[in-house]
Amino acid sequence: MSIEFLVASAVGVLSAAGIYLVLRARTFPVVLGLAFMSYAINVFLFSSGRLVVNEPPIYGQDVAAYSDPLPQALVLTAIVIAFGMTALVVVLALRTFLEAGTDQVDGLGETPAELETLAETSASEAQVRSDVEARP
């Protein structure tokens, strides 16, 4: 078993998980899916510098072998940007949920079965719902 195989299979599995999760119907799994995609893509980008062990890109006169610093620099910014994106998307999901009363990705609200259970919950919920519908 080689390191290369481990990394390649990890990228594949992380991508597959990311794809599956972004296709879910609720916002939170979609956010998780985006995080998975970020992992996969960052690792893929990183491995474009090929894999080496114990040769960090710290310059020295006598250092001959070093890992490729450029993909590392790119991935470093990508990690930070991915954080910014995840933060933004999850806050967007939160605000949408507060605004629409549902975290279904298309804002479709609850399925009939859930509406039944909702009917049994607090009246304040119903109040909010009617207020929302009453808005022009």
Task: Map the footprint of other proteins across residues 35-74, applying CB under 8 A.
Answer: 35-36, 39-40, 42-44, 46-60, 66-70, 72-73
Q: Are 89 and 31 in contact (CB under 8 A)?
A: yes
d(CA 44, CA 10): 10
Q: Using the rule CB under 8 A, is 25 a contact of other proteins?
A: yes
Q: Does 81 bind other proteins (CB under 8 A)?
A: yes
The yes or no reply on residue 127 touching other proteins (CB under 8 A) is yes
Q: How far is the CB of 79 from other proteins (least distance, A)?
A: 5
DSSP-based three-state secondary structure for 54: coil
Distance from the Cα of residue 53 to its chain's centroid: 29
> Which of residues 62, 112, 118, 136 is near other proteins by CB under 8 A?
118
The answer to the question of residue 121 lying near other proteins (CB under 8 A) is yes
Strand, coil or helix: 66: coil
Residue whose pair of structure tokens reads 């916002």 in the numeric block: 27
Phi, psi of 52 (to 5 degrees): -135, 155
135 binds other proteins (CB under 8 A): yes
Q: Which of 2, 62, 112, 136 binds other proteins (CB under 8 A)?
A: 2
For residue 112, state whether it binds other proteins (rule: CB under 8 A).
no
